[in-house]
């Protein structure tokens, strides 16, 4: 296996932290884009259907991947 330099490791950790911080914000942004934010506010995340939750989760994962790719 390839050794990862300390500076590379720090860069990866910083990027991971940024992604995790934005994860919660992303959920709300995506819910708003999909027209589900009001439902989330009224019923909470548990009030969403499996399809709605999956759609939000899929878009969060997609954006996280995009953020990782931009960080490289």
pLDDT for res 64: 86
Average pLDDT over residues 3-32: 73
pLDDT mean across residues, the chain = 83
Residues 32-67 have pLDDT tens digits of 999 999 999 999 999 999 999 999 999 999 998 998
Percentage of residues of the chain with pLDDT beyond 90: 54
Q: Which residues of 36-71 are buried (b: 16+ CB within 10 A; e: fewer)?
A: beebbeeeeeeebeeebbebbeebbeebbeeeeeee
pLDDT for res 72: 56
């Amino acid at each position: 296996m390839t050794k990862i330099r300390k500076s590379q490791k720090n860069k990866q950790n910083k990027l991971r932290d940024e992604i995790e911080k934005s994860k919660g914000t992303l959920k709300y942004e995506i819910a708003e884009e999909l027209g589900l934010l009001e439902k989330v506010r009224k019923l909470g995340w548990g009030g969403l259907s499996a399809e709605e939750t999956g759609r939000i989760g899929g878009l969060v994962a997609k954006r996280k991947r995009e953020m990782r790719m931009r960080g490289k």
